[in-house]
Amino acid sequence: MKKCPKCSKEFTDDIVYCTACNTPLEKVEQTTNTDTKNTQSETAYTQSTQTPQQNTQTTDTSPIQQVPQGNNNPNKKYIITIIIAAIIIIILLFTKCSSSDEPTQKDSTVVTTAPVTEQQSATPVPIATPTPEPLPTPTPAPVAKEFIRENYGYVDYKELARNPDPYKGKSLTYSGKVIQVIEGDTETQHRIAVNGDYDNVIYVAYPKNIVTSRILDDDYVTVYGTSLGLYSYQSTMGGKITVPALYLDRIELQQ
């Protein structure tokens, strides 16, 4: 048998806490029948003086009420309260840090407005009209020089070699044998023996696009071009050779 030291209620040995005041029960030894009767009478008197609510609690011996958690509930509530408070503080700190970054970004760009005087506000601001840039004049495509055979004259080789200056820029024509061919990427050069005479050699050059087939050594050709005066080059023996030169408008292969 157990007894509540506060309200003197008696309970069976399987009850740990008083169901009326939640006070830990103390075990009481039964010595005599008289004590038992006195205890029972006191218990009956106490129960009769309790409110209906207390009587209801006394008679309610459900398993849930027989195992009160009075000592553990405050600790659990305290721990839960601390956890909730910590979560709230973390959320507030995170929100504060995020909001503190926004003013820094907004304040990084400061727009200053110059004060507008009364005269400036009254005077209309002229609008600049863009001046159109002149269009570039297209460069006309080069027109191929019209070849007219009759415009090219003949001057004796000796006369041209002796007095080249009066004939510079003149349109001349000669026929002879090709004795040397020098081909470049865009230009071809020949040495030609006029009328097959190796003592009367002229130097000619022309763009490669004026011919449809290559000119080879020992070919007989007729050339039409502009006199350039004299041209000098080194011979295979190391001597300097000077001959009349022409820049050709046309070269024809003789069959």
- pLDDT, average across residues 201-221: 95
Confidence check: pLDDT of 255 > 90? no
Confidence check: pLDDT of 164 > 60? yes
CA distances from residue 98 to 85, 88, 109, 209 in whole angstroms, order as listed: 20, 15, 19, 76
Tokens of 67: 């195992």
Q: What is the pTM of this model?
A: 0.45
Domains identified in the chain and CATH numbers: 2-66 (no CATH), 153-253 (2.40.50.140)
In the prediction, which pLDDT does 16 show? 77
Please tell me the number of Cα atoms within 13 Å of 132 on its side-chain side: 3
205 near 192, Cβ under 8 Å? no
Confidence check: pLDDT of 40 > 90? no
Residues 6+ apart with CB under 8 A from 244: 157, 160, 161, 164, 202, 203, 227, 229, 230, 231
In the prediction, which pLDDT does 140 show? 55
In the prediction, which pLDDT does 179 show? 96
Q: How far apart are CA 53 and CA 21, in angstroms?
A: 12
